[in-house]
Structure 1
Amino acid sequence: MPKYVYDFTEGNKDLKDLLGGKGANLAEMTNLGLPVPPGFTITAEACRHYLRHGGMPEGLGDEIGSHLAALEARMGRRLGEADDPLLVSVRSGAKFSMPGMMETVLNIGLNDQSVLGLAKQAGNERFAWDSYRRLIQMFGKTVLGIDGEHFEDALDELKGDRHDTDLEASDLQRLVETFKGIVRREAGREFPSDPREQMDLAVAAVFASWNAPRAVLYRRQERIPAGLGTAVNVVAMVFGNLGDDSGTGVAFTRDPGSGRQGVYGDYLQNAQGEDVVAGIRNTVPLQELETIDPASYRELLDIMATLERHYRDLCDIEFTIERGKLWMLQTRVGKRTPEAAFCIASQLVDEGLIDLDEAVERVTGDQLAQLMFPRFSGTADNRRLTTGMNASPGAAVGKAVFSSERAVELAGRGEDVILVRRETNPDDLSGMIAARGVLTSRGGKTSHAAVVARGMGKTCVCGAEELDVDPHERRFTAPGGITVEEGDVISIDGGTGAVYLGEVPVAPSPVAQYFEGRSVDGELVAAVDRLMTHADSVRRLAVRANADTPEDAARARRFGAQGIGLCRTEHMFLGERRRLVEDLILASTPRERQTALDALEPLQTDDFTGLFAAMEGLPVTIRLIDPPLHEFLPDLTDLAVRVALAADGASARDRRLLEAVRRLHEENPMLGLRGVRLGLAVPGLFAMQVRAIAAAARRAADPRAEIMIPLVGAVQELEIVREEAVRILAEAGVSALIGTMIEVPRAALTAGRIAGAAQFFSFGTNDLTQMTWGFSRDDVESSFFGKYLDLGVFGVSPFESIDREGVGRLMRIAVEEGRRARPDLKLGICGEHGGDPDSVHFCHDIGLDYVSCSPFRIPVARLEAGRAALVSGGSDTR
């Protein structure tokens, strides 16, 4: 029979798959001899069984009972006994941190008898009844599914103008009876008085919370696999709400916002942990603990140093002080902002804790992309409303909205919004994802809003206490009586915590300026430069740019591009040149067609000359014209109306255009006359482009031309075009590689034959994804994709990240068969996936030579190519 329960003394930090992050780290701290309350972990495998079968594994109850008995023996108390009760918490703990997404229940073991014993043993009647009301409230919401507002409304009614801490024992005793009445009314049952029933029901509720909507949404956002499940930790309770000599807090071994070393965190006297995270009461900076409880403060600093050295990283720590005794409740490698990620990785290299290889592995392309976002360029002081806590950096501008539903609604219309709340909770996740930034009037750097925003790279300002937020009236009031209504534009600065009325101008980030080649100082830029330099030194994949103009090519080169992987020549036929393309389409004789081509050729020559100059000495892959010709013509309906309204006055050209549009109209043009088919159907079109490439190459000092034939599905198509191209190049005395895009599934499946006529393949994964899945990338995002994501058909859009099982398998086949036929075959990718971090890793794994992406994604691709080489051990899979 599998082992489903582990005592903290039996685990370690490497068992996260089994024990979850929280359980594994509690075990690690226990083994380090740190003050951890005793407890045990029910494994994620038990959760997976529960979710698959709708019930607990056979024998789990007895196994839990055995570990509970051992815990009771160690503590010298029994769960829920009347005279001196042992109380426990039941906490979730998945492999990957999901702050606030799943459930926790504290104070399990309290009932009408044990609450009296707790009051007697603690010498604090108020504390006992406060603990009991917390249990009923959390249990009712988490386990019995009661809307939390019922409890919150009852608590607010009792408090009136008082704070939580002003409530007396008699108040809380009445509140317990009120809460039990809410359970009876809303759940149709009594609050369970049996401690073991409380614990078993709480464990099941935590398992079930893995599939709660907010947890599913968070996993999708963070790309956490749905099948992992969560472990459950049962831990002996320690109490931070026993008086002013008790408290609870969160600490970071370095600033998770900037990476600076120092003492960072929040502390709250006479409180339990959820009070800090929920932001219900505003905390004090952790440094103030030195005055409140010097001994605990010194011990905490020693433990923080121990944990950072042991984990060799920033650690996020939760702790409780119970009447002067420090207890460690959790540690984990802490979430951090992108700026902090780069700075900390570089710092740890200097401190000898990690090497440069590991430093590069600890940062991501997504983090780098966030660092390139613009920042505020100026702030008009007369528009500053207030300053809160700088919880997650960046600059965000948008309309103030006061509910997640409204944020999602407006963002869905393409509007920028700032989600404004008193404090966020896990149910606000959808709004946080939709918003440009988050502003709260309560909470600190460890509140739900701060932690989740940092993990998502969202700008966040927390604890703006001077703002009176009224979510029901959808407005907030700032100092001086300034009122901001829903829809008014505000700007928030996650770096300083400032909140502004109206739109504040933005400026490029220092990191973006660095990649533009400008001289920029600062620790962050130095760290980025250091890690990028190392990533470039270890990566095997080259990184090219998708660029169609000399300006884009020059920018790409500044960003580190090693050539152009895709020049889309059809983009050169727009604007004023569209009429010349119309002339080509309207040509009715070979002479008319040649006249149109002769007019286009010098323009194309100039285009390619500029690209070769910008990329001198680097390869330039030019794709011959790809889209269907009707895309260069007027819309059929518009043109038909224009001709009909003009009647006899319609010009001869308009009538010929209408005839041509009707002739070229296709029900599904993406599967019609385009790409290589167009080159074969319109004599001289591809030849004109090849001549222009040859002429431009003759002008260039060091041209590295590569001619790419699009949409090939049969080797015969490529052979016909190649034969003519080779002849034209030879006549011009110019050399160039000739290859094809692999974007049709048949091309991937017959890659061995096609490689006989191609010197390179470039995977056009946009079309390859479209044709493999059988849906249009232009339409699908607005139709059923959302439903497919909700249903789990997609973990992530296949247009965002390569579908490894389907599209990826076709790519593998093409790589293997292509290289078998032509060992020196050059392989790359030029679809938008070339800038996606996960896709870059896949391209490394299957042995491509380069990726190509938009200029602004080049730094991301460079970094991820280095990380891919390190993760794979630098091996060349070819």
Structure 2
Amino acid sequence: MDTILNLGLNDQTVQVLAEATGNERFALDCYRRFIQMYGDIVLNVEFNKFEDALERNKRRFRVEYDHELQPEHLKKIIDEYKEIIKSSTGSEFPQEPMEQLRKAVMAVFESWNNPRAQVYRRVNKIPDDLGTGVNIQTMVFGNTGDNSGTGVAFTRDPATGENVIFGEYLINAQGEDVVAGIRTPLPISKLQEEMPEAYDQFQKTCTLLEKHYRDLQDIEFTIEQGKLYLLQTRSGKRTAAAAVKIAVDMVKESLISKEEAILRVDPDQLNQVLHKRLDTKVKFNVLAKGLPASPGAASGYVVFDANEAERCGQNGDKVILVRMETTPDDIHGLVMAQGVLTSRGGMTSHAAVVARGMGKPCVCGCEALNIDYKAKKMTVGDSEIKQGDLITMDGGTGQVILGKVPVISPEMSEELQLLLQWSDEIRRLGVFTNADAPADAKRAREFGA
């Protein structure tokens, strides 16, 4: 579903916000973000028009990151954004806050029926007639300076199930920056060094929320001038291997029963538990390396567009979706791809979270990649990879390799063996196998047939 931040800002209120905080840059940055988000979601102005204008101005003012833009730069970008909206819609950007709110609420309701929401419901077996609500929240700002920030964290590692806080954050940023992967964030452990009091409070809150909900929590948070705010918590997406480990560990921690643990692992996930990995006996040259965002290995033909990934996948072709960063609009391509590779973003970016939920390998933040969408190619140093070229990726190590590399199957984990043992204690059905070769019979026996 769509989100709109900084609603209520206009030419007058942005000045009041600047005066009230004594921080003109912060106020203008919020206004710039709001115009872009409102134009995209509510007014249906093409998102890339704003992004192109932003990147063009960053080059013009010789800055690398959004937070390096100064007030005089932001004023010019805001004026250009307004011109984009006027030329695209025929109307000025709305200045009345109640009009902004009313139209934003309607846009969020309507987003229930957009293509990406329909694909998401179909993948996750959510009824189309369930409907949605709209939450209206007071803004807290993570972009007020170096004592503010925003992040996404999981109470346990969603890739492995290890019982450690796993997440990322950005200083002087808003929440969408982390999820969208526009800047590569820092690991949550660094927050303990930079803001120890906020981190300590966050750690205690993670424990409290997990004990209350008795499940892995996916938490979005903002720190405004040193004060911690929680924006939302929900049950976190996780890999199949993590689902097994978390379920077993929570039984050992007396949080859930054995029966609940069995029900926590979807039968479809068992096909993903034994993620394939690269055969290390085979020699291969690593083209680039990024963040190991979702485990598993896959080979496929490079595509740079989600629509193309969907088309190829429907034709039976195995593809790797390569993007600078993914957005919810790319979900139909993610469903059909064997894996996803991005040049930006971190371990909690959109691509990483969705891939883990689908059990697909993902490598994020592979900054060595220079992607050219128009030319349908990417370069890594002197190497050029075009659409249709074959690559292999390992989401467990972050490696990207040119060509196809053989993969091997791993062994069963202790947690999976224990979960299957608990299942045997309560099941009423027998398990048999149809094996044509000794190796198949051996593997079937290992799985309890």
User: How high is the TM-score relative to the length of structure 1?
Assistant: 0.49
After TM superposition, the structure 1 = structure 2 runs for residues 762-777 of structure 1, keeping only pairs within 5 Å, are: none
CA deviation map 1:302-344 (0-9, x unaligned): 1111112222221111110111111111111111111111011
Give the match's secondary structure for 2:152: strand
After TM superposition, the structure 1 = structure 2 runs for residues 187-198 of structure 1, keeping only pairs within 5 Å, are 187-198=89-100
Q: State how 1:567-646 maps to structure 2 within 5 Å.
A: none
**1:28-47 pair list within 5 angstroms:** none
User: 1:483 offset after TM fit, Å?
Assistant: 2.0
Residues 1:540 and 2:419 aligned together: no
How far off its partner does 1:430 sit? 1.7
- C-alpha contact 1:115 1:129 (8 A) present in aligned 2: yes
Map of 1:502 onto structure 2: 403
Corresponding residue SS for 1:158: helix
Please tell me whether the aligned partners of residues 349 and 356 of structure 1 are also in contact (alpha carbons under 8 angstroms).
Answer: yes
Q: 2:157 aligns with which of 230, 252, 255?
A: 255
Gaps of 5+ in 1: 1-101, 512-524, 563-878
Q: Which of 256, 273, 280 is the aligned partner of 2:182?
A: 280
Aligned equivalent of 1:454: 356
1:409 positional shift: 2.9
Identity %: 50
Give the equivalent residue in structure 2 for 1:411.
313
Q: Which residue of 2 aligns with 1:113?
A: 12
Counterpart CA distance in 2 for 1:117 and 1:133 is: 15
Secondary structure of the corresponding residue to residue 262 of structure 2: helix
Match of 1:126? 25
Does the C-alpha gap of structure 1 residues 124 and 358 become closer, same or farther in structure 2, counting only changes over 3 Å?
Answer: same
Residues 161 and 245 in structure 2, CA contact (< 8 A), matched pair in contact too: yes
- SS of 1:107's partner is coil
Instruction: Give the Cα–Cα distance (whole angstroms) in 2 for the partners of residues 152 and 244 of structure 1.
Output: 24
In 1: Cα distance, 2:377 partner to 2:43 partner: 33
Which shifted more, 189-198 or 535-544? 535-544
Matches within 5 A, 1:669-688: none
Structure 1 distance, partners of 2:71, 2:399, is 40
Give the structure 2 partner of residue 558 of structure 1: 445
- For residues 339 and 437 of structure 2, what CA distance do their matches in structure 1 show? 36
Q: Distance in 2 between matches of 1:183 and 1:473?
A: 28
Aligned residue identity for 2:292:
N
Q: Which amino acid aligns with 1:107?
A: N
Tell me the amino acid that sits aligned with residue 262 of structure 2: V
2:142 aligned residue (224, 240, 248): 240
**CA distance in structure 2 between the aligned counterparts of 1:552 and 1:425, rounded to whole angstroms:** 42
SS at match of 2:344: coil
Q: Is the 8 A contact 2:26 2:144 kept in 1?
A: yes
**1:153 lines up with 2:52 in the alignment:** yes
Residue 297 of structure 1, aligned match among 188, 191, 199: 199
Deviation readout 1:123-178 (Å, 9 max, x if unpaired): 11011111111111111110111111121122122111422122111221222222
2:275/2:295 contact within 8 Å kept: no
3-state SS of the aligned residue for 2:137?
strand
**Pairwise CA distance, 1:234:** 0.6
User: Structure 1's 559 and 380: CA in aligned 2 closer, same or farther, altered over 3 A?
Assistant: closer
Give the drift of 1:501. 1.6
Give the gaps of 5 or more residues in structure 2.
Answer: none
- Paired with 1:397 and 1:221, the residues of 2 have a C-alpha distance of 23
- The one-letter amino acid of 1:303's match is T
Conserved? CA contact 2:435–2:441, under 8 Å: no
1:431 paired to 2:333:
yes
**1:174 and 1:506 mapped to 2: Cα distance?**
52
Structure 1 residues 299, 552: closer, same or farther in 2, change over 3 A?
closer
Q: 2:114 aligns with which of 212, 217, 231?
A: 212
Instruction: Give the 5 Å matches for 1:710-789.
Output: none
C-alpha separation between the residues in 2 aligned to 1:379 and 1:306?
45
Of the three residues 205, 208, 232, the one matched with 1:330 is 232
Q: What CA distance in whole angstroms lies between the structure 2 residues aligned with 1:170 and 1:439? A: 36
Letter in 2 for 1:218: Y
Give the partner amino acid of 2:445.
R
Contact 1:371 1:509 survives alignment (8 Å):
no
CA distance, structure 2, for counterparts of residue 557 and residue 298 of structure 1 = 47
Aligned residues of 2:284 and 2:405 also touching (Cα < 8 A)? no
Are 1:488 and 2:389 an aligned pair?
Answer: yes
Decide which of 190, 193, 216 is 1:314's aligned counterpart: 216
**Residues 319 and 339 in structure 2, CA contact (< 8 A), matched pair in contact too:** yes
Q: Is the 8 A contact 1:383 1:502 kept in 2?
A: no
Distance 1:553 1:157, change over 3 A: closer
Q: Is the 8 A contact 2:347 2:364 kept in 1?
A: yes
Taking the aligned partners of 1:272 and 1:319, their CA distance within structure 2 comes to: 10
Report the AA paired with residue 54 of structure 2: L
| Cα distance, 1:263 vs structure 2 | 2.9
Q: How far has the Cα of 1:266 moved from its partner?
A: 0.5
* Distance of 1:152 and 1:293 partners within structure 2: 31
Specify the alignment match of 1:264 in structure 2: 166
CA contact (8 A) 2:282 2:406 kept: no
Distance 1:131 1:498, change over 3 A: same
Cα separation, 2, equivalents of 1:263 and 1:544 = 40
Aligned residue among 293, 296, 308 for 1:391: 293
Instruction: Report the CA distance between 1:552 and its aligned residue.
Output: 10
Q: Conserved in 1, the CA contact under 8 Å of 2:297 and 2:393?
A: yes
Find the partner of 1:142 among 37, 41, 44.
41
Q: How far is 1:414 from its partner?
A: 2.1
Larger radius of gyration: 1
Task: Describe how 1:516-527 pairs up with structure 2 within 5 A.
Answer: 525-527=413-415
Return the match for 2:418 from 526, 530, 533: 530
Asked if the contact 2:170–2:178 (Cα under 8 Å) also holds between the matched residues in 1, the reply is yes
Partner in structure 2 of residue 706 of structure 1? none
- 1:133–1:549 Cα change, 3 Å: closer
For residues 435 and 253 of structure 1, what CA distance do their matches in structure 2 show?
Answer: 28
Higher relative contact order (CA 8 A, sep 6+): 2
Provide, for residues 104-123 of structure 1, a one-character-per-residue CA deviation record: whole Å limited to 9, x for no partner. 10111111111110000111
SS at match of 2:6: strand
1:558 CA displacement: 2.3
Query: How much has 1:214 moved relative to structure 2?
Result: 0.9
Q: TM-score, normalised by structure 2?
A: 0.95
What CA distance in whole angstroms lies between the structure 1 residues aligned with 2:282 and 2:222? 42
Provide closer, same or farther for how the CA distance between residues 548 and 336 of structure 1 changes in structure 2, counting only shifts above 3 A. closer
Distance (Å, rounded) in 2 between the aligned partners of 1:145 and 1:498: 38
Task: Indicate whether 1:469 and 2:356 are aligned.
Answer: no
- Distance in 1 between residues matched to 2:443 and 2:191, nearest whole Å: 51
**Residue 560 of structure 1: how far off its partner (Å):** 6.2
RMSD: 1.9
The equivalent of 1:10 in structure 2 is none
Asked whether 1:182 is paired with 2:70, we answer no
CA distance, structure 2, for counterparts of residue 324 and residue 253 of structure 1: 21
1:236–1:550 Cα change, 3 Å: closer
Distance (whole Å) between structure 2 residues aligned to residue 485 and residue 281 of structure 1? 25
Given candidates 375, 383, 387, the residue that maps to 2:277 is 375
CA drift at 1:472: 2.1
Structure 1 residues 265 and 373: alpha-carbon distance in aligned structure 2, compared to 1, 3 A threshold: closer
Matched, 1:171 2:73: yes
Which whole-Å deviations, capped at 9, do the CAs of 1:260-293 have from their partners, x for residues lacking one? 1223110100000000000101101111111211
